[in-house]
Chains A and B, each alone.
Chain A
Amino acid sequence: MLSFLLRRLLQTIPTVLAVVLLVFVLFSVVPGSIVSSMSDDSDPQVELRMKKQLGLDDPLYLRFGVYIAKLVTGDFGTSFRTREPVTTMIAKRAWPTLQLIFTAMTFAILIGVPLGFIAALKPGGIVDTLAMVLAVSGLSIAKFWLGLVLMYLFALKLGWLPSFGYGDGGLKYLLLPAVTLGVSPMALFARTTRAAVLEIMTADFVRTARSKGMSETRVVKWHVMRNALVIILTTVGLQFGGLMGQAVVVEKLFSWPGIGSLLVDSVLQRDIPAVQGSILVVVLAFLAINLLIDVLYGVIDPRIRYA
């Protein structure tokens, strides 16, 4: 197990390096510069001084070298806009994003997986049809639109929840953005679970278990559920990464102070260190979650060995 973990950790290094290089090069060649958004100064010398101060007049390879050297010491650089360390900026935003993503994922798993399961137990039935209509709708609805509808319904019409903001970070403020973010993975989990369960229900080992006289409850619990969980877990892991990207829209809509909204403003203003830092954190989180999922495979299904 330990060697497996070490090997997987080492495997993440090239991925991280590739992402770092890609983001660095991308934001160095795209048109637009932080300097334009920071000053309207009439003195051309100011622009030159600003570029010098921000290190933007150095050759690309030198900037990349300095960036990597700092990165290995955990220094993500200093934001061009706020002049704060990027690590500080991300640290302030990390918790709200984690709150949002984990609440959304909890909602998606708690609703989506049982729904898919129930639907698969009686395929073609009314529950199955309703569940799949819900799933397709959930996957098709744009988050921005859904968020507005939820705001309108639960804040404006019913007055149950605030329509925006972080407040004290409590559940009252978290619910609407989390549900908005969680509907699409919920729909996907329902569909994936249904498909996985249906497939496993017709597998040879399930037929064998039934022919041996095992009760349907035990068949579902011991054979179907455990085997379906591996597929569901893979989908959950992938969705975590997806949610981090989708959180950008939701955070902006609900004025939620996460990494997503930091990323949006940083990209728009070409705050390269903040963009690089934010993307790197998202990638690292994605890799960490997938590593965790790999470990969980073995827990759920002991046949999976860490060879």
Chain B
Amino acid sequence: MIKSLIGMPALLGEHMMFRMIAIVAGLGLALAAPAETQAPRKGGTIRMTAPYGSSFTSLDIHTTQRAQDEIYAKALHRSLYIWNSAEGKPVLELAKEDVVSGGGLVHTFKLRDDAYFHNGRKMTADDVIWSYNRIMDGTKAYPGARFVRVIEGAAAVEKGQAKEISGLKKIDDFTVEMKLTEKVDPGFYFFTALTSIYPADEAAKESFIQKPIGLGPFKFVEHVPGSRIVLERWDRFYKPGKPYADKVIVSIMGEAAARDVAFRNKEIDTSVLGPAQYVAYQSDADLKGTIVEVAEVFTRYMGMNPSFKPFTDKRVRQAINYAIDTDLIINKLVKGKAYRATSWLPLTSPAYDKAMKPYPYDPAKAKQLLSEAGYPSGFEFEWTTSQNESWGLPIVSAVIPMLDKVGIKAKVKQVETAVLAEVVRSGDYQAFIYSQATGPDPQAALKCFHSSTPQPACNYMNYKNADFDKLIDAAGQADDAAKRTELLQKANALLYEEAPVWFFNYNKAVMAVQPWLKGVQLNATELTHQNVEDLWVDETSPAK
């Protein structure tokens, strides 16, 4: 049944395919929890975990782009759009309607008139405009500026050349006109917490950072730095009957082993699993049914520097893809906690082409290509890596003997993750292994390889290809969604052929969810980011 479902996406619309993959991935959970159909229960406490570090960065969500911080922000704040996991796309959240005009550049948003901040004040167009202007304050360098910059005049505010974004106009208290610089779907730009709408009057105060006020389904109660954030139900939340739970506790738990004990001890409701735990949970009859998994929009790869001579030749780059037994590494080392990458766009991308096949493991073909490229005896290169268990040193160590078989010697240069980010941006490498966001917007993901994209932005391989540029430019101009998808698929196929990277895998995000927690969404942008108002706990939850 599953196979026949997977075979259908060619007949489906772009977002339907995304949805289908999410459904298949979550089938295990659905089978394990037949009670999903029961009516949501009001009350109780949801106990989530924040697994990506020892603390939250800040309670001012405009200042932080860490996935860790967005976990609590999904309960506390709201943006103009929200990610709809079932549909696999951003949908309107703080607006009821978006009327597009001006050749696709002007969006007129009819805002909700029933959205109240946690201080009881109603949200208006002024708050939206104030928030976006705040994010564009160039002296503060807010990370969300890269999204707001798509509004006309935003860059001028950032550079200090204007005081307000000219492309934002208040029509009335609940109507905002937004003029964009490019013909893009604004949903992809305004759905994360980085562009949350703040209350203009309160957010300007110093106290806001200690006691934040948002529009989300839960209001702030307490932050114990390095330990937890506690939030309680906001009764004036605009979605009728929601949220279901009375309270949300987000505990900071950076240690996987500690999370494992706490999850087994029923002290937490969710726990992100690494490869080793994924295997352990699968083989445990009591825990197997708690697993939820989704193909996240992250691609893991080895980037090759085109200014390092051997890598200038496409045949050498292809040879590396043929020389590595990627399936073996995914199955044995990553313990199956990843999906084999074919090209750049991940499985859950609307422009993913299911007809594409990954490079097969073929050392003979790799040797042949190396000979044709003038490297019959191979060559040596330096491979910069972090210690990450899923896309770092363990993977590099497993690949080295495979490359050695075809004559390629790799020397490891190990650095910290923070340093790797700088190395990658600066181009100071021969090769590196990395994990990069490749969605949810396929156009933005592929644009990283456009020659106009600077290397420090996301064109880390400093890739330049005129044919590729044409395809991306054409996709940007296409009004028809199907035509755009077709062009993006062609661009993705061209990347496959050009092989600027070794296509390793797409992340399979895995989370264990207690049987009493219902409504978990298979969010391909980040599984831990849950629309908390849709979650609820049944009466078997030990937390009262």
B303: shortest Cβ distance to chain A, in Å? 16
When distances are taken between beta carbons in the complex, the residues of chain A under 8 Å from B421 are: 32, 36-37
CB 8 Å contact bits of B340-359 with A (1 = contact, 0 = none): 00000000000000000000
Q: Are A261 and B226 in contact (CB under 8 A)?
A: yes
B227-265 vs A, Cβ < 8 Å mask (1 yes, 0 no): 110000000000000000000000111110110011011
| B416 / chain A contacts, CB cutoff of 8 Å | 31-32, 268
B-contact 0/1 string along A234-257, CB 8 Å cutoff: 000000000000000001111111
Given A41-B146, A53-B140: A254 and B258 interface contact (C-beta under 8 Å): yes
Chain B residues with CB below 8 A from A36, complex form: 418, 421-422, 425
B140 touches A162 (CB 8 A): no
A77-94 vs B, Cβ < 8 Å mask (1 yes, 0 no): 000011110000100110
Residues of B within 8 A of A130 (CB): none
B146 touches A40 (CB 8 A): yes
Known: A92-B225, A166-B227, A262-B226. A41 touches B143 (CB 8 A): yes
Do residues A258 and B226 form an inter-chain contact, with CB atoms below 8 A?
yes
B261 and A32 contact, CB distance less than 8 A: no
Is A38's CB within 8 Å of the partner chain B?
yes
Cβ < 8 Å to B, chain A residues 135-155:
144, 147-148, 151-152, 155
Chain B contact residues, majority secondary structure: loop
One of B143, B228, B267 near A163 (C-beta < 8 A): B267
Q: A-B contact count, CB below 8 Å?
A: 157
A297 at the interface (CB under 8 A from B): no
CB of B284, distance to nearest CB on chain A (Å): 14
Q: Report the nearest B residue to A249, measured CB to CB.
A: B255
Interface with B: A42-50, A104-112, A115-123, A285-293, which one? A42-50
Decide: A82 near B54, CB < 8 A? Known: A36-B421, A162-B267: no
- Chain A interface residue count: which class? 35 or more
Interface mask (B47-73 → A, CB under 8 Å = 1, otherwise 0) = 000000111011010011110000000
A46→B422 contact, CB < 8 A: no
The answer to the question of A202 belonging to the interface, with a C-beta cut-off of 8 Å to chain B, is no
B147 to chain A, nearest CB (A): 10
Q: B54, B226, B261, B262: which has the most chain A beta carbons within 10 Å?
A: B226
Contact status of A252 and B425, CB under 8 A, knowing A40-B65, A265-B55? no
A67: Cβ under 8 A from any B Cβ: no
B458 on the interface (CB 8 Å rule)?
yes
**A265 contact from B53, B255, B267, B422, Cβ within 8 A:** B53
A33 adjacent to chain B (CB < 8 Å): yes
With contacts A162-B267, A163-B267 known, is A257 near B225, CB below 8 A? yes
Q: Given A53-B139, A255-B226 in contact, is the A38-B65 Cβ separation under 8 Å?
A: yes
Q: B454 on the interface (CB 8 Å rule)? A: yes
Instruction: Give the contacting residue for B63; candidates A83, A155, A255; CB below 8 A.
Output: A83
Q: 18 pairs across A/B with beta carbons < 8 Å?
A: A31-B416, A36-B422, A36-B425, A38-B143, A40-B143, A46-B158, A49-B138, A82-B63, A93-B226, A163-B258, A253-B258, A255-B226, A255-B228, A255-B251, A262-B55, A262-B226, A269-B418, A270-B418
Given contacts A144-B257, A257-B224, 14 further A-B contacts (CB under 8 A): A31-B415, A33-B422, A39-B141, A39-B143, A41-B141, A49-B141, A83-B58, A148-B261, A151-B261, A164-B262, A164-B267, A253-B258, A257-B227, A265-B53
State the A residues within 8 Å of B (CB): 31-33, 36-47, 49-50, 53, 81-84, 89, 92-93, 96, 144, 147-148, 151-152, 155-156, 159, 162-166, 251-258, 261-262, 264-265, 268-270
